C-alpha cells in the first residue's frame, strides 16, 4: 500500500534534481561557449598586434586598445589606442578617450618596457550580461516544464481521491453499496473503510426501519380490522335490540378506529414514498389522465358535499415519473381540498406547461391557511389548530409531508399561496418533463 506523501515527495525531488541538473549543465555549456569566444578574441588581438608589429599588416578593430612603450617612447599602438599614454598609473583604472569610457590596465615589467591595455566599459558590461543571460536562460526555460511535470505528478497522485469522489457523486440516494477502489493509497485507506462502514450502518438502519414499519403495519392492521368488524356487528345488534346511544359512544369508537386505520395507512405511504429508500419506477405517463382518474375516485365524496370541481388546462401532459407516487400526490391534494372546503365549495385543478416543466395547480375556496403556517404544514403530524381542526375533519397531518417527499423524489418544487378565489389555498407543483 503506497503513500501519497511518500510518492509526491520522492517523485518531485527526483524531478527537481533532474531538471536542475539539466538546466545547470546547459548553463555551463553556454557560459563555457561564451568564455571560449572571449579567449579566442584575446588570441586574435594578440595575433593582430604581433602581426602589425613585425609584419606591418593593417590594423583590425578587435575591441581592445593596446600600447607598448619602450624607454618612454611609443613603439606600438593598436588601431583603437590614442597616441598619448592611456594611463599614467600602474594597475587598473578608468579613462576617457576616443569618445568612450575605458577600463585600462598598465603594467611595467621592467624599467624600460611599459604595456597598457584598455577595453571599453560598455563592451565589458555587454559581455557580462551575455554570460549571465546564458546562465539564467536555461533555468527560466525549464520553469514551464517543471510546472507541467508537477501538475502531471500531482494529478496522478490525486487520481484515487478523484475516483473516490466520482463514485460518491454518482451514487443514488438509495445506493448504499460499498465503494470499491483499486490501489488505494495509505492516506485514503482509512477514509474508504470509514465511508463503507457508514454505508453499511445506514443500510442496516434503513432495513430495520422498513422492517419495523412493515411489522407495525401488519401487527396493527389485523386487530384494527377485527375491531372494525366487531364494532360494526355491535352497532347492528344495538340497533336491532333498540338500545339507544345518546352520548354517541359507538360512533366515537368507530371514528377513533377509522382515524387510527387512516393514520397507519398514511404512515405506510410516508415510509414508502420517502426519497431516501423509495424505489421509483419512472415511466412516460399522462398527468392529465391521472388527474381525471383521481377526480373520479374522489367524486362520490365531492358530490356528497355538493362541491364543484373543475379540471382546466391541457388535455394531455406527458412526463416521466412514478405513476403510483404521482397519483398519490394528486389524490392527497384533491382529498385535502375536498375535506377542508365547506359544503357547496369549489375545487379547481389546472395543468399547464412552462418551459421544460409541468405545472399542477390545485386550489379551493375553503378557509385556507395563514401564510405564517405555510412552512410548518409540511412537517409530519402537524395540523393547523392541532387535532381540533376548525373543519372538524379527521386527519393525521401527514398528507402534505407525503406530497413534499414525492415532489422531492421527482426533483420538483412545491409552493403554497392564496387561492384565486376570495378565500382558500392554492398549491402549485412544478415537475420536470
- Shared domain for 217 and 330, answered yes or no, is no
pTM summary value? 0.49
Please give the average per-residue pLDDT across 93-110, as a whole number. Answer: 88
- Shared domain for 203 and 121, answered yes or no, is no
Q: What percent of the chain has pLDDT over 90?
A: 18
Q: Pick the last residue of a domain from 246, 272, 298.
A: 272
Q: Is residue 131 part of a domain?
A: yes
DSSP 236-264: HHHHHHT---TT-HHHHHHHHHHHHHHHH
Q: Pick the last residue of a domain from 100, 127, 143.
A: 143
- Shared domain for 204 and 290, answered yes or no, is no
CATH number at residue 372: 3.30.565.10
Q: What percent of the chain has pLDDT over 70?
A: 78
Q: Pick the last residue of a domain from 241, 272, 303.
A: 272
Cell 401488519, residue? Answer: 218
Task: Give 42-93 pLDDT, tens digit per residue.
Answer: 655 655 555 555 444 444 445 778 888 888 889 888 888 898 999 988 888 9
**What is the rounded distance in angstroms from the CA atom of residue 53 to the CA atom of residue 67?**
11
CATH number at residue 203: 1.10.287
Say what the pLDDT of residue 59 is.
Answer: 44
- Shared domain for 284 and 427, answered yes or no, is yes
Number of domains in the chain: 3
Query: Do residues 307 and 345 make contact, with C-beta atoms less than 8 angstroms apart?
Result: yes
Which residue range(s) make up the domain with 267? 171-272
Beta bridge partners of 71: none
**What is the rounded distance in angstroms from the CA atom of residue 220 to the CA atom of residue 104?**
113
Find the helix or strand (DSSP H, E) in which 46 lies: helix 4-55
Amino acid at each position: 500500500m503506497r503513500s501519497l506523501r511518500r510518492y509526491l515527495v520522492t517523485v518531485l525531488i527526483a524531478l527537481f534534481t533532474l531538471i536542475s541538473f539539466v538546466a545547470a549543465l546547459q548553463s555551463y555549456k553556454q557560459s563555457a561557449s561564451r568564455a571560449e569566444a572571449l579567449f579566442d578574441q584575446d588570441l586574435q588581438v594578440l595575433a593582430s598586434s604581433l602581426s602589425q608589429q613585425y609584419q606591418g599588416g593593417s590594423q583590425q578593430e578587435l575591441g581592445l586598445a593596446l600600447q607598448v612603450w619602450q624607454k618612454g617612447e611609443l613603439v606600438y599602438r593598436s588601431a583603437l589606442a590614442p597616441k598619448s599614454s592611456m594611463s599614467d598609473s600602474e594597475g587598473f583604472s578608468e579613462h576617457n578617450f576616443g569618445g568612450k569610457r575605458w577600463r585600462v590596465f598598465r603594467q611595467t615589467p621592467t624599467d624600460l618596457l611599459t604595456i597598457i591595455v584598455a577595453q571599453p566599459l560598455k563592451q565589458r558590461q555587454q559581455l557580462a550580461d551575455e554570460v549571465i543571460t546564458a546562465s539564467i536562460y536555461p533555468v527560466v526555460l525549464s520553469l514551464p516544464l517543471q510546472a507541467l511535470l508537477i501538475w502531471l505528478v500531482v494529478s496522478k497522485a490525486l487520481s484515487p481521491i478523484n475516483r473516490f469522489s466520482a463514485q460518491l457523486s454518482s451514487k443514488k440516494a438509495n445506493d448504499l453499496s460499498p465503494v470499491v477502489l483499486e490501489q488505494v493509497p495509505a492516506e485514503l485507506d482509512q477514509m474508504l473503510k470509514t465511508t463503507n462502514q457508514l454505508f453499511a450502518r445506514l443500510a442496516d438502519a434503513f432495513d430495520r426501519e422498513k422492517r419495523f414499519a412493515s411489522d407495525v403495519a401488519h401487527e396493527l392492521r389485523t386487530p384494527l380490522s377485527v375491531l372494525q368488524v366487531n364494532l360494526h356487528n355491535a352497532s347492528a345488534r344495538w340497533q336491532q335490540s333498540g338500545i339507544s346511544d345518546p352520548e354517541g359512544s359507538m360512533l366515537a369508537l368507530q371514528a377513533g378506529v377509522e382515524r387510527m386505520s387512516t393514520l397507519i395507512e398514511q404512515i405506510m405511504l410516508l415510509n414508502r414514498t420517502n426519497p431516501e429508500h423509495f424505489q421509483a419506477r419512472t415511466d412516460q405517463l399522462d398527468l392529465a389522465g391521472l388527474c381525471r382518474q383521481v377526480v373520479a375516485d374522489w367524486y362520490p365524496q365531492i358530490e356528497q358535499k355538493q362541491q364543484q370541481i373543475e379540471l382546466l388546462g391541457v388535455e394531455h401532459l406527458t412526463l416521466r415519473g412514478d405513476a403510483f407516487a404521482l397519483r398519490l400526490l394528486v389524490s392527497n391534494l384533491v382529498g385535502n381540498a375536498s375535506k377542508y372546503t365547506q359544503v357547496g365549495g369549489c375545487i379547481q385543478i389546472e395543468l399547464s406547461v412552462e418551459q421544460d416543466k409541468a405545472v399542477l395547480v390545485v386550489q379551493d375556496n375553503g378557509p385556507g391557511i395563514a401564510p405564517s403556517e405555510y412552512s410548518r404544514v409540511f412537517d409530519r403530524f402537524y395540523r393547523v389548530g392541532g387535532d381540533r381542526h376548525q373543519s372538524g375533519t379527521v386527519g393525521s397531518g401527514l398528507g402534505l409531508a407525503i406530497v413534499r417527499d414525492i415532489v422531492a423524489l421527482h426533483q420538483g418544487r412545491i409552493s403554497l399561496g392564496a387561492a384565486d378565489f376570495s378565500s382558500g389555498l392554492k398549491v402549485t407543483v412544478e415537475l420536470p418533463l
